Amino acid sequence: MHSSGNESKRPTLGVGMVGYAFMGAAHSQGWRTAGRVFDLPLDPVMAAVCGRDPDAVRAAADRLGWAAAETDWRALIARDDVQLVDICTPGSSHADIAIAALEAGKHVLCEKPMANSVAEAESMAEAARAARARGQIAMVGFNYRRVPALAFARRLVAEGRLGTLRHVRVQYLQDWLVDPGFPLTWRLRREQAGSGALGDIGSHAVDIAQHLAGEPLTGVSALTETFVRHRPLPEGAAAGLSGTGGAGRGEVTVDDAALFTGRLASGALASFEATRFATGRKNALRVELNGERGSLAFDLERLNELSFHDHAERASSSGFRRILVTEPDHPYLEGWWPPGHGLGYEHTFVHQAADLVRAIAAGEQPEPSFDDGLQVQRVLAAVEESAEKNSVYTPVPPASPVAPVPA
């Protein structure tokens, strides 16, 4: 951390970001805005962004608000004006960049899913534990935890408003791959993405279920399917990807959809659906929890609302009621608009940046940690194993004991 030169100003936190596409643009929005909305103890400074194409990354830096551009992530990590490395690349590079950044003494924010395999995630979590002992912070970017309505839902569960949990069900539905002519992008190749709908959006479903419930999944039973097995190669793609799909086409090596059930540590039952083939659904994340004392439900397409049912009310007048999560005492709303003025998707990245900056200033571990990301990765691996075995119930290995951080 560096003084900004003017002693009346807050000290700065230099941020360097690797990747500048969809997630890079979303994270940039968070870094640009967090210090202007919330009273933060450190001032995030967008020091540099990194990408392989010199012209493209320079243009992205100018467009998104970064002061400098790099074409080698190692050079970005080595910069003296970068104290936090934000990783927004395909999953295949997450482990290398995150471990190198942590070993170089940097804080790290890594997009989900944390890695492409359990082994990579374990290495990242181990590096994060060692770095934590040196005062560094590592966090996974599961941004939906920062939707005010879902943060409020977590508060209600933690307060016992649902009582003993019985059911958790999560759907994450998209349709952007329905067209068989959609090209074979990196998200459809296992060596870059790790998995398909399972890792891309299923990881969100798993994380939010475990986060809201406050407990991990202990086992799953799963089915996965790839509906379109060959797709046109993107312009300029290597011919080696053509596989058996004919000239100009390549093999899809990840799932298009995943459907699985699970059991939480308490014995509560859970069900999940993640698909990029739900025609007409663009970004439909739906969550419902049922407990002995009540239920709650959320739909990302109505992200300022939470549905809540108090089962202690008289049957004649009870039922789900809408809570408009825009009051000043709702999570994150103290920095925004008057009640009733809703927020959007991009605000989750502002909240994520603010939470991380506060944690770094306080020397505290924010959630989700790399150990949380490892737990999600273990669930994803168990889903794939179960699907390969035709829906056999597959245990999720328990979390490893975490060594205490020295005082």
Contact 131, 106 (CB under 8 A): no
Using the predicted structure, report yes or no on whether residue 205 has a pLDDT greater than 60.
yes
Omega prior to 11 cis, within 30 of 0: no
Give residue 400's pLDDT: 65
Give 137-173 pLDDT, tens digit per residue.
999 999 999 999 999 999 999 999 999 999 999 999 9
In a domain, 354, yes or no: no
In a domain, 264, yes or no: yes
Give 314-333 pLDDT, tens digit per residue.
998 899 999 999 999 999 99
Q: Same domain for 155 and 266?
A: yes
Residue 79: closest CA among 14, 173, 152: 14
- How is 313-347 classified by DSSP, letter by letter? S-TTT-S-EEEE--STTSTTGGGS-STT----TTH
d(CA 129, CA 372) in angstroms, rounded, equals 12
Q: Which of 12-16, 81-85, 253-257, 388-392 has the lowest mean pLDDT?
A: 388-392
Q: Which residues contact 76 (CB under 8 A, 6 or more apart)?
A: 16, 18, 48, 50, 70, 82, 85
In a domain, 211, yes or no: yes
Across the range 5-25, mean pLDDT stands at 86
CB burial of residue 393 (10 Å; 0-12, 13-18, 19+): middle
Q: Same domain for 314 and 276?
A: yes
Q: Same domain for 233 and 263?
A: yes
Domain end residue (candidates: 144, 161, 177): 144
At 357, the pLDDT band (50, 70, 90 cuts) reads: very high
Give residue 235's pLDDT: 80
Q: Which of 148-152, 311-315, 347-351 has the lowest mean pLDDT?
A: 311-315
Name the one residue in this structure whose structure tokens are 């181990």: 126
DSSP state of 198: I
In a domain, 179, yes or no: yes
Domain end residue (candidates: 96, 114, 144): 144
| Structure-block tokens of residue 7 | 């002693």
Question: Which residue segment(s) compose the domain that 228 sits in?
Answer: 148-302+304-343
d(CA 182, CA 373) in angstroms, rounded, equals 30
Q: Residue 236 sits in a domain of what CATH number?
A: 3.30.360.10
d(CA 388, CA 385) in angstroms, rounded, equals 5
CA angle 112, 161, 402 (to 5 degrees): 40
Mean pLDDT in the chain? 94
Q: Same domain for 211 and 334?
A: yes
d(CA 369, CA 112) in angstroms, rounded, equals 11
Q: Residue 75 sits in a domain of what CATH number?
A: 3.40.50.720
Q: Same domain for 275 and 324?
A: yes
Domain end residue (candidates: 117, 144, 171): 144
Q: Same domain for 152 and 125?
A: no
| Single pTM value for the model | 0.93
Number of domains in the chain: 2
Contact 224, 255 (CB under 8 A): yes
d(CA 292, CA 66) in angstroms, rounded, equals 50
Q: Same domain for 70 and 83?
A: yes
In a domain, 356, yes or no: no
Give residue 1's pLDDT: 55
In a domain, 209, yes or no: yes
Contact 309, 323 (CB under 8 A): no
Decide: helix, strand or coil at residue 405: coil
Q: Same domain for 63 and 200?
A: no
**CA 21 to chain CA mean position, Å:** 16
Across the range 198-204, mean pLDDT stands at 97
Give residue 398's pLDDT: 87
Other beta carbons less than 10 A from residue 86's beta carbon: 30
Q: Same domain for 161 and 221?
A: yes
Using the predicted structure, report yes or no on whether residue 337 has a pLDDT greater than 60.
yes
Q: Same domain for 112 and 231?
A: no
In a domain, 288, yes or no: yes
Q: Same domain for 171 and 270?
A: yes
Q: In what order do the strands lie in the sheet with 68-70?
A: 68-70, 43-50, 12-18, 84-87, 107-111, 138-141
Strand partners, 107: 84
Q: Same domain for 205 and 239?
A: yes
d(CA 139, CA 106) in angstroms, rounded, equals 12
Other beta carbons less than 10 A from residue 360's beta carbon: 23
Give residue 132's pLDDT: 97
In a domain, 330, yes or no: yes
Give 19-54 pLDDT, tens digit per residue.
999 999 999 999 999 999 999 999 999 999 999 999
d(CA 24, CA 89) in angstroms, rounded, equals 8
Give residue 391's pLDDT: 83
d(CA 204, CA 199) in angstroms, rounded, equals 8
